Amino acid sequence: MTNVNDMLEVAVKAADGKRAEDLVSLDIHEMSIITDNYLILSAPTERQVIAIADEIIDQMAEAGFELIRQEGRSEGQWALLDFGDLIVHVFKTETRDFYRLEKNWQAAPEVAIDQWIIKEDF
């Protein structure tokens, strides 16, 4: 049985390693039959959206998690990566602001992911 926290850790670290911004994870298993968890994150450019999506796909595959389907990656506005128990949404910042996906799922509890994000001092 797949542990969604293991999947989430791999995806968060991969996204963070490519400088993803505003990472949020929502536990939606009580509200959705499609998946258990959403990971939502942003990037300022189309190129970075694609690079983050590619890194997540690569790191998840290396960890043994199968990508079931993907949508939108080539356009660089919003990439949806479906790993079964975890769906990753990689948004261009303006696109995320427009769709406000978190608002649609505001009743879902947030999952702590800070332990997997590297804090940088500037």
Band of pLDDT at residue 48, cut at 50, 70 and 90: very high
Superfamily of domain 4-111: Beta Polymerase, domain 2 (3.30.460.10)
- Per-residue model confidence as pLDDT tens digits over 58-108: 999 999 999 999 999 888 999 999 999 999 999 999 999 999 998 889 899
Q: Hey, where are the domains in the chain?
A: 4-111
- Per-residue model confidence as pLDDT tens digits over 9-32: 999 999 999 999 999 999 999 898
Return mean pLDDT, the chain. 93
- Listed residue (90, 65, 119) closest to 15, CA to CA: 90
The model's pTM: 0.93
Distance CA 60, CA 29 (A): 21
- Edge-to-edge strands, sheet with 86-92: 69-71, 78-82, 86-92, 37-43, 21-27, 110-111
pLDDT computed for residue 121 by the predictor: 56
pLDDT computed for residue 1 by the predictor: 44
pLDDT computed for residue 53 by the predictor: 97
Distance CA 98, CA 120 (A): 28
Collect all residues with Cβ–Cβ distance below 8 Å to 71 and sequence separation of at least 6.
Answer: 79, 80
25: exposed, middle or buried (Cβ count in 10 Å: 0-12, 13-18, 19+) = buried
